[in-house]
Structure 1
Amino acid sequence: MSPASQTEEAARDHAAWQQAVAAVLAKARKVDVSELPADPEHLLDTVTYDGVTVTPLYTRRDETAEAPLPGVFPFVRGRDAHRDVNRGWLVSAAFGADESDAKKINEAVLDGLDNGVSAIWLSVGGNGLSADALDVALGGVLLDLAPLTLDAGADTAAAAESLYALIDARAAAGDGVTDRAAITVALGASPLTDRFSGAAGVDAATAVALAGAAAGRAETVRAVTVDGTAFHNAGASDAEELGAAVAAGLEYLRALADSGVAVADALGQIEFRFAATDDQFQTIAKFRAGRQLWARVAQVLGAPEAGGAPQHAVTSAAMMSQRDPWVNMLRTTLAAFGAGVGGADSVTVLPFDAALPEGSVETSKSFAARIARNTQLLLLEESNLGRVLDPGAGSWYVEDLTEQVAAKAWEFVQQIETAGGYTAALDSGVVADRIAATRAQRDSDIAHRTTAVTGVNEFPNLGEAPLADGPSPLEGVARYGAAFEALRDRSDRFLAERGHRPKVLLAALGPVAEHNGRTTFAANLLASGGIEAVNPGTLDLATVTEIVRESETTIAVLCGTDKRYGTDGVPAVDALRAAGIETVLLAGPEKTFADAQGADRPDGFLTARIDAVSALTGLLDTLGAK
């Protein structure tokens, strides 16, 4: 068959598919096919917070030119063409947070290395490990086999000096240092992103000095980390995180150039840290797009071959929930999958209890750390995900999504540059305002439950134990479920004071087959705000007074079919009010009571798309939950 004939056949197949789609959509929407657009499949499109359109089907019509192989500009498919496929990405784990005992840290590090960890992320300074104790904390660690990343904040310069002294001493003594170039270290200086997040750290001048010194070391040392998670944790979308990070990277490059560092050496001093979420395809595309963006920067500066900066993925802190925290294990699994498939060089999985106050679950920190580590090991050693570089390559969906995310991120870079560069954009509010708008939209979607957070605004477990007193380790992070979890906190306080949770009566109309859908919906909605749904079964008007008394509440929700509301709704409302119910709500749309007036009319209507946070807040206020 000739190419022209193949094209014609493909066009006929696509047209036939469109007709089938139109028939299904017309039936579902109860309209005539003629009322649908010529391309009805686009009625099923979804649009991300970046304005990226995701279509329901990708075909050869969406095919793009094949990207170069890994290790070659623009590094979309990976920066390292020779990555060991038997090892895959590096399994990174964090050590030393809130721990000052160097020997205990060393024991934890060695145990991690013995059990699958292949990269160390070490906290130094503050109230934790002293920079002077690095030699103890890293005792027995072969730095040429386990790359090291420091998280030292304001003590970064002191930690770097101590680390260099440790390496020099080992080399002089012949203590496990035979090839200095094989030692890979990230000093973690991040003043520009620290400025956005408010984290304590070194200033930009110190970071530049560290980079200049690192460039002359025999080891592979990168002094600067562009920490994109600072933007993500504030509510940024994927493209906004990438765009702000690239803009920050540009500012570092300018500062390094001003200090006399050559372009290629300056590029060699920067690595990126990005958040990985449970939206696996968005995460895959994000890491691929991030490499493409930075490669473009390197190309413009005349050093395209130096544009392959390492990427450190950290599973999203914002997606971690306090309620039903076991679901976090599933979230981090998806995130680690997306980051690994997307080509991240190293991945850190946050423990499932990362958002919980100390003592909230009856498991040890070592258990949580082991599950976090083993999540990656299962993906690598049992699912063999590391054996193929860029397995998403060639997927019409992944390639299109990568290009769109990269384009949106580049638009944000240009917006920041137009505002005068990264620092000027921070000062003028360009970055913060853009991210705040995205956060507000996401919060609204979660509040309206158009975006589900399992265990929080959908399928909550009202019977789980209250949280322990104390601050969340992720205080300051714009966690997705925070608004609903604040309502659950109010319910917990009510429970502690009164011995039971706030209650609402479900007044079910008709047989179970009729009311089950809406009683289930109402109970799920109420539980997401910490409110117990009392369901005595089908409402009997003859005993309604007794039912109301036993429910111990002044609020009721009518649940039934639209047809049942038409016949039994008004009598039920009147009976409930006469029995002492002060607020009657209806599970269903307002149109079902369009003809009712005054006291015959419910006080509110609960539907799938209400602002649940606002509605539940009002109920808790009424029920006396502080």
Structure 2
Amino acid sequence: MPIASDPASAPVPEYAAWRKGVAGVLAKARRVDIAELPEEPEHLLAETTYDGLTVAPLYTRRDELPEQPLPGAFPFVRGRDATRDVHRGWYVTAPVTAADGAAANREILAGLENGHSAVWLTVGDGALPPAQLPAALTGLFFELAPLTLSAGVSAAEAAEAVYGVLDGYSAPDRSAIAVALGAAPLTSRFAGRADIDLPGALALADAAIARPETVRAITVDGTVFHDAGASDAQELGAAVAAGLEYLRALADGRDIADVLGQVEFRFAATDDQFATIAKFRAARQLWARVAQVCGAPDFGDAPQHAVTSAAMMTQRDPWVNMLRTTLAAFGAGVGGADTVTVLPFDVALPAGELGVSKSFADRMARNTQLLLLEESRLGHVRDPGAGSWYVEELTSALAGTAWTFMRELEAEGGYTAALESGLLAARIEETRAARDADVAHRRFAVTGVNEFPNLAEKPLSEAARAAGLTTRYGAAFEALRDRSDAYLAERGSRPKALLVPLGTVAEHNVRVTFIANLLASGGIEAVNPGPLTAEGIAAAVTEAGASIAVLCGSDKRYGAEAGAAVAALRAAGIETVLLAGAAAAVAESAGTQRPDGYLAAKIDAVAALSDLLEKVGA
């Protein structure tokens, strides 16, 4: 199509014309005739999420949905607060875990002076004793900085200590003081984490309702489902089911508006920015629907706390985590989260592992949000994703799928019944297994781990290898790297594989690059001496000191030279000869000179690399 001289007046291609263009590109890429493609070839470009939702390659007015109400109005898809200060945006916070009241106070005040706008304080279980809360909270302006507690089994004692501080605090409008006590017995039970029991949480809620401040006793922590491997819809559906269980427990003899006012939600934000945007918008729609069914639609605006995903973080090449958390914070902020926490980039590693201070890692996490708020000014627009055909469609589809999952848990008898029967864990395990398979086959890229690994980075300590969340997306590949580190410590060098390029650079470069990247993801060093003659193979084998070799070249070159190269490598002492590509690339006539295995794009890389490490004694 010719380009108009004035871009503003250029004609917009119709959907049919775009589809025709897609067909032409796909036919060329697949080396087939256009007539062999389906009637709607664009569906070949669609992706399917772990929730079974289809993400189309293009969204147009064909996908337009009715406009949602403005922020602050039911069903709160566009935000729960119509009057949020656009100069503040969302609240910025980070967990304070100091075990001493004075130290916690210094950390809190330093955070508030340097960009935090809310306080998240860990109490009890080796952290701050409840009795030291008054010291930790000294000097705070509670109406300006909301306070969230994570106190576990110490929640009741922590609440009493906070109330004691508030009773001595003077404020013209006590309802402007926001406190979340963080009682989470139902979701903590899923995670196997000690917490206050349900009757204790209900007693906290009763006391909170009677307070003049805005106090919410219960946190529905959806991050525990996410960290276990749940999809977005499963995280939302399970969280709503847990929220329903709290409502039922609280509803007897209490006003439903007061009951709804006792619940807040915490969800994980990932580096899939559009999925994260849709998740927080859909979560508000789901809880608003629950409030509507309860007869109080105007009170379905529970606050949301976003925490960047711990599961997406990596131990290997952890600096990439800064990019992941930036995308996650962006998605949570655009999606309308009320409070956002960015985890430090080295959170999956023991303190000091990278040789950087805690203050540096904390500052990077805090500044990630401050740059988004103060330089990108994301908080200046309420619901900036509104009107996007993709975001609106994804929000709607995700809400529907999450509601279906919640109803499946309800059909089991509710959240607790689904937890006790194993249904909830089984459904999440299915998703985790599917994601693990995608990571293993490198269909799901974890940069720095199963794609573009840095094999030259410093080996991890024993403590680092023993630490961390086992359901991190890259855990299987990082376990391979741990074996390589142990091999390096024992023998002074990494496991090696000799690359044997065949033909010209144009013929072998793509596969050489692919294999070097693949091997490095398993901790195996690729030794590339360049194109070799049959006579040069023996010398290269001796110099490399490897027992594994990989042939790299074009399919045509394999047909002509693979058999002879395999024979030469075996004669030189190579125990395992592999070929970069599929088995079909080597003719049957090669006979006994066929390779021992094939490294292609669709293999289970974790299994293949584990086998290679075993062969070399790692």
CA distance in 2, matches of 1:316, 1:12: 40
Indicate the larger mover: 355-364 or 456-465.
355-364
Q: Does 1:452 align with 2:451?
A: no
Match of 1:124 in 2: 123
| Counterpart Cα distance in 1 of 2:533 and 2:13 | 60
- State the Cα distance separating 1:12 from its structure 2 match: 9.0
Structure 2: stretches of 5+ with no match in the other structure: 1-10
Residue 174 of structure 1 is matched in structure 2 by none
Cα deviation, 1:584-622, whole Å, max 9, x if unaligned, reads 000011101131455301000001111000000000001
Which residue identity lines up with residue 324 of structure 2 in the other structure?
R
- The change in CA–CA distance for 1:472 and 1:295 in structure 2 (over 3 A counts) is farther
Q: 1:50 to 1:44 in 2, by over 3 A?
A: same
Q: 8 Å contact 1:355–1:473 — kept in the other structure?
A: no
Shift, 1:476, TM fit: 4.1
1:241 and 2:242 are equivalent in the alignment? no
- Residue matched to 1:200: 194
Q: Counterpart in 2 of 1:369?
A: 362
CA distance 1:438–1:592, change in 2 (3 Å): same
**Are the equivalent residues in 1 in contact too, given 2:92–2:340 (CA < 8 A)?**
yes
- Give the letter aligned to residue 87 of structure 1: R
For the residue of structure 2 that corresponds to 1:533, the secondary structure is strand
> Would you say how many aligned residue pairs link Structure 1 and Structure 2?
608
**SS in structure 1 at match of 2:39:** coil
State the SS of the aligned residue for 2:247.
helix
Secondary structure in 1 aligned to 2:120? strand
Question: 1:340–1:12: structure 2 CA closer, same or farther, 3 Å change rule?
Answer: closer
Name the SS for the 2:463 alignment partner.
coil
- The answer to whether the 8 Å contact 2:353/2:464 transfers is no
Mapped to 1, the partners of 2:104 and 2:318 lie a distance apart of 26
Match of 1:149 in 2: 148
Deviation at 1:34, TM superposition (A): 1.9
Distance in 2 of aligned mates of 1:405 and 1:119:
29
How far has the Cα of 1:447 moved from its partner?
A: 0.3
State the shift of 1:493 in Å. Answer: 0.6
Aligned to 2:24: 23
Residue 183 of structure 2: aligned partner: 189
Q: Per-residue CA shift, 1:361-413, capped at 9, x if unaligned?
A: 01100000000000000000000000000001011000000000000000001
- Is the aligned partner of 1:223 residue 2:217? yes
Name stretches of at least 5 consecutive residues in structure 1 with no aligned partner: 1-9, 172-176
Q: Partner residue of 1:51?
A: 52
CA distance in 2, matches of 1:70, 1:94: 28
Which of 449, 458, 463 lines up with 2:456 in the alignment? 463
| 1:109 paired to 2:125 | no
TM-score calculated relative to the size of structure 1: 0.95
Q: RMSD value over aligned CA atoms?
A: 1.4
Contact 1:357 1:473 in 2 (8 A): no
Give the letter aligned to residue 125 of structure 2: G
SS in 1 for 2:230: coil
Q: Residue in 2 aligned with 1:95? A: 96
Q: Please tell me whether the aligned partners of residues 355 and 472 of structure 1 are also in contact (alpha carbons under 8 angstroms).
A: no
| Equivalent in 335, 343, 347 of residue 328 of structure 2 | 335
Q: Using a 3 Å threshold, how does the CA distance of structure 1 residues 236 and 336 change in structure 2: closer, same or farther?
A: same
Q: Does residue 232 of the first structure (1) align with residue 226 of the second (2)? A: yes
Native 8 Å contact 1:284 1:398 kept in 2: yes
- Is the 2:247–2:259 Cα contact (8 Å) retained in structure 1? yes
Equivalent residue number for residue 354 of structure 1: 347
| CA spacing shift, 1:71–1:604, aligned 2, 3 Å | same
> Residues 452, 12 of structure 1: CA spacing in aligned structure 2 closer, same or farther, 3 A cutoff?
closer
Per-residue CA deviation, residues 526-556 of structure 1 (Å, 9 max, x unaligned), is 0000010111111221132221111111110
Q: Does 1:546 align with 2:539?
A: yes
**In structure 2, do the counterparts of structure 1 residues 214 and 405 end up closer, same or farther at CA, with 3 Å as the change threshold?**
same
Partner of 1:7: none
Q: For 1:320 and 1:211, how far apart are their aligned partners in 2?
A: 34
Matched, 1:255 2:249: yes
Equivalent pair of 2:277/2:334 in contact (CA under 8 Å): yes
2: CA distance, partners of 1:473 / 1:85? 44
- Per-residue CA deviations over 1:28-69 (Å, capped at 9, x if unaligned) read 222222222222111111110001111011111111111000
The residue type equivalent to 2:328 in the other structure is: A
State the 1:322 CA deviation: 0.3
Find the partner of 1:285 among 255, 275, 278. 278
Equivalent of 1:276 in 243, 262, 269: 269
1 CA distance for matches of 2:330 and 2:155?
A: 31
What's the counterpart of residue 167 of structure 1?
166
1:184-238 Cα offsets, whole Å, 9 max, x none, are 0000000000110001100011011101110110000000000000000000000
Shift of 1:475: 3.5
**Residues 608/108 of structure 1: CA separation in 2 closer, same or farther (3 Å cut):** same
Superposed CA offset, 1:105-143 (max 9, x none): 111111100001001110000111110000111111111
Tell me the residue number matched to 1:517.
510
Matches within 5 A, 1:430-509: 430-470=423-463, 475-509=468-502
